[in-house]
Structure 1
């Protein structure tokens, strides 16, 4: 979702009286029990099914509670679900825990979930994460615009605490996915004005909404009515929005910020020495790719496959990881992340992800034989996300290897770039990424490459890939499912759907005022950040 959700790893405009100021006066040094964390302006209002980037996602996941939740290591637990029963992984009966309310005092019922899922799936509502509902019977009738039906026939309310879910086929991933934000419930008041609700959301999670000062900060406070498995160990969170990671890092050092999930590239060589045990470093489920719009000249059909493979083999990933990131990034070996169950680093076609200048030139020449190259290769990125160095390095590697004009194309903010990508108005290659919402390779692959997925930003479509993905979901054992996923990824490599470049190790930091850990997905374990 998000990421679920596309990884913003970015920041929106900072509140600053003067460009010379490095601190943002966030109030992080006070003793009110609130924790200040880095953030950026969400792309959209805070609606669970319409949030597919991590700036909105990190807030939405604090405000809402789902049927399940994931701990710091990615292990899943029941949250609002008392039980999730299925004899065949296709037909589910879900029973809720009793006496759970939204922060406006209204009860959370089975209908709260069913109505929210139907709203998220309805094509006319254009929710960015509606793809998650595609396994449910009746999704194809409601997802079209105009819809053939208003509700999915595979969802039935039994009583206030019980509902059933019928899938079109067995799924080894469905129950695990039920902690993902599109599956959160909504109160009845949301449907009166969904946009207004997203500006001032009413949830049922460990925190409750306090305020949103756009492009400055979002504040949430601990929810005293929450009684699930992840209660807040702090009084609240201030999500402070920064113009750059460098400014955020300076604030961390100055004592104005409690946690920073991404240390800037400029500090990676020294941050462990600077911070000691306050520096955090471990692998996470995140990646970075270069995508190409479907209609971008020279990147369609057989010519496009050859050019994407040539560009991939023209990128010196090892050098970028060593010289820019000091080991905080790793060369990509597939389209997911090596920390996820089922990962294989030896897929057929993985050679196209290795630096090979001679082969890159041969493939480029083969593409020229189909249609001679013209113009230059521009790679869009958001300037507020510390991406300049890596995009410049990618472009220079391509330029020096292939002998073409290539360079970065900066956008002021993540929101600016995401809006053009979402609306299909971008006319250049672009940096994009994914950060896991639940610990599964299926989430990475379904969200980004399944035909028709709203988060399939490159509009990739391959019926055989879709078939293999669905067959993997229905496989009787995980090992059989992962073997089918390997075949599906082999197709992605053969098509070079996009260009996988890097995956992440967390390079994060905390102040000396808090105890904090980074999760399996690369964000902080916000509920468990404790003030000293």
Structure 2
């Protein structure tokens, strides 16, 4: 989840200090200090650059070590000023950003307007291969630093729409009006970077330096990352613990067992097999709440067999062959809700969520499913695979159930086969290399609480998280019009019109909205999840 993941360099040697605690299943939980929170985690796909990380595990770390212009309220998700003292505009196109005083990176250097401008120019430039470059497309001059034509070379090194006014002020000119643009600036791609990043990037990647409530002390890939409290942090969300040790687990069942045994303090991925028992198992230290997450499966539309009107009928038929109600009830209890649109109920109706917008494709109808698949010429090659990582999220259980549902509808035990991938990082690498041939999981955790974030990054032509390779001119046009609409209510309606195009083309099948679920030990207090289903690490206290 959380974004796509196109081009990324392999992680270099990033072990700074040898770690004593492995954290991959069991042990006495040693190695963490008395005031350090021990939490489950998974290795990120890419090095921890703000513009090159848009998956959940890496995003957790970036949220801890960086503070951007905006931040999202842990309870409501509302965007509020963080490093920004003000963001002002008269025309919804040119914005003047003024920074608060007194902020420094953890290496002691000041955070200035240039720290943002230089970081954004770096993130946008095609030559730097940043997967989040797409988030800078709204800034004037993006096409010059990141040309859309394959093989084209950049004609500029910097975005013409960025201008440093003084140490605390910079000006941003967008290519067109985008009234909601300031609300997106809590996303980590917009984080500032210190001079050290540009003078010695390799050294910075070994031990990232940020301006957030925590700093990275060490990282041993496959084992753990240790972060300590930033004692000089001036923000309101300063850490209330001494630090966090993120321990890598390849099985959420193992993490859950370690939590029960007192070897772990926080997990945010309760195994599906344990959700009914978690409340009693953990003595009430269990969290289950709505989150801005939707699980979907998508198709490799870059493969010829999934293109055209016949393939669209097959996709629609496959969607109607999946019994969402039964799967969510039997496997997930009350932690999942069958999806009927491509957003999330946490947005509310005013924010763009519309129950039932998906219509027929999201309803279980075996007879209609068989008819559509037959009309579309049958499954490509006679069968289809369903692929996902299986190290987190209890994905193996629902994949088995979804394939069983399809097989039962088609009366063919080999119509759908599960293709499990051991780790999230390996799964993402396969997707990034366009190696998918059948259905694959494309769940999404919102980057910021706007309907735009559930649609544009995933389905706009060549968008950063458009793993399917979907492209539709009408969808793109409606998204562009929505972004340019100054009135928020009217903008939301335009985005919903674009969503109707998805209901016709069905590049991805909405499965269910996902709650955030977490558990914690007796050793810690003040544990809660934000609307993104991520623990608010800075608030956790150690008894």
When residues 195 and 42 of structure 1 are mapped into structure 2, their CA distance, relative to the original with a 3 A threshold, is farther
1:439–1:426 CA distance, 2 compared to 1 (3 A): same
Match of 2:42 in 1: 40
Give the whole-Å Cα distance in 2 for the aligned partners of 1:397 and 1:112: 52
Q: Deviations over 1:272-328 (max 9, x none)?
A: 122232011110000111111123353111122111111111100000000000111
SS at match of 1:380: strand
* CA spacing shift, 1:474–1:512, aligned 2, 3 Å: same
Give CA deviations for 1:363-406 in whole Å, capped at 9, x if unaligned: 111101xx774242111111212210011111111121134521
Query: Within 2, Cα distance between the matches of 1:348 and 1:288?
Result: 16
Asked if residue 204 in structure 1 is aligned to residue 211 in structure 2, the reply is yes
**Aligned-residue RMSD, C-alpha:** 2.0
Offset at 1:193?
Answer: 4.2
Indicate the residue corresponding to 2:70 in structure 1: 68
2:425 alignment partner, SS class: helix
Aligned mates of 1:301, 1:87 — CA distance in 2: 45
- CA distance in 1: counterparts of 2:48 and 2:353, whole angstroms: 35
CA 151–17 in structure 1, closer or farther in 2 if over 3 Å, else same: closer
Judge conservation of contact 2:298–2:442 (CA < 8 Å) in 1: yes
User: CA-to-partner distance for each residue in 1:215-255, whole Å, 9 max, x for gaps?
Assistant: 10011101012101211111100111112110000011011
For residues 210 and 252 of structure 2, the distance between their equivalents in structure 1, rounded to whole angstroms, comes to: 30
Give unpaired runs (5+ residues) of structure 1: 7-14
Distance 1:427 1:26 in 2: 42
Corresponding residue of 2:458: 448
Say which of 211, 214, 217 aligns to 2:221. 214
In the aligned structure 2, how far is the partner of 1:296 from the partner of 1:400? Answer: 26
How many Å separate the matches in 1 of 2:216 and 2:411?
Answer: 52
Q: Secondary structure at the match of 2:121?
A: helix
Q: Secondary structure at the match of 1:384?
A: coil
Matched, 1:424 2:434: yes
CA contact (8 A) 2:297 2:440 kept: yes
Verify: 1:525 aligned to 2:539, yes or no: no
- How many Å apart are 1:436 and its aligned residue? 1.4
- Number of aligned pairs? 519
Kept in 1, the 8 Å contact 2:353–2:451? The answer is: no
Query: Which residue of 1 is the match for residue 192 of structure 2?
Result: 185
TM-score, normalization: structure 2? Answer: 0.92
Cα 1:283/1:322, change in 2 over 3 Å: same
Of 225, 233, 238, which residue of structure 1 is paired with 2:240?
233
Equivalent residue for 2:371, pick from 362, 373, 379? 362
Structure 1's 108 and 372: CA in aligned 2 closer, same or farther, altered over 3 A?
Answer: closer
1:260-299 superposed matches below 5 A: 260-299=267-306
Quick one: structure 1 residues 373 and 436, their matched pair in 2 at CA, closer, same or farther if it must change by over 3 Å? closer
* Alpha-carbon separation, structure 2, partners of 1:120 and 1:403: 50
For residues 33 and 53 of structure 2, the distance between their equivalents in structure 1, rounded to whole angstroms, comes to 32
Structure 1 length normalisation: TM-score? 0.94
1:491 and 2:491 aligned: no
- The answer to whether the aligner puts 1:509 opposite 2:519 as a matched pair is yes
Measure, in 1, the Cα distance between the counterparts of 2:354 and 2:97.
37
Given that 2:340 and 2:358 are in contact with CA atoms closer than 8 Å, whether structure 1 keeps it comes out as no
What are the residue-to-residue correspondences of 1:140-179 with 2, within 5 Å? 140-144=143-147, 145-179=152-186
Check whether the contact 1:217–1:241 (CA below 8 A) recurs between aligned residues: yes
1:346 offset after TM fit, Å? 4.2
Shift of 1:172: 2.9
- Judged with a 3 Å threshold, the aligned counterparts in structure 2 of structure 1 residues 87 and 26 are, in CA distance, closer, same or farther, namely farther
2:383 matches 1:376? yes
Over 3 Å counting, the alpha-carbon distance change for 1:187 and 1:344 in structure 2 is closer
Match of 1:399 in 2: 407
Q: Secondary structure of the equivalent of 2:493?
A: helix
Please state how far the C-alpha of 1:266 moved relative to its aligned partner: 1.3
Indicate if the aligned counterparts of 1:137 and 1:167 stay in contact, CA closer than 8 A: yes
3-state SS of the aligned residue for 1:88?
Answer: coil
Q: For the Cα contact (< 8 Å) 2:93–2:179, is it kept in 1?
A: no
State the 4+ residue runs in structure 1 displaced beyond 6 angstroms.
15-19
CA distance in 2, matches of 1:17, 1:108: 34
For the residue of structure 2 that corresponds to 1:82, the secondary structure is: strand
Q: Verify the 8 A CA contact 1:5 1:435 in the aligned structure 2.
A: no
C-alpha contact 1:26 1:240 (8 A) present in aligned 2: no
69-78 or 85-94: which moved more? 69-78
Larger displacement relative to structure 2 (294-303 or 514-523): 294-303
Say if 2:446 is the partner of 1:436: yes
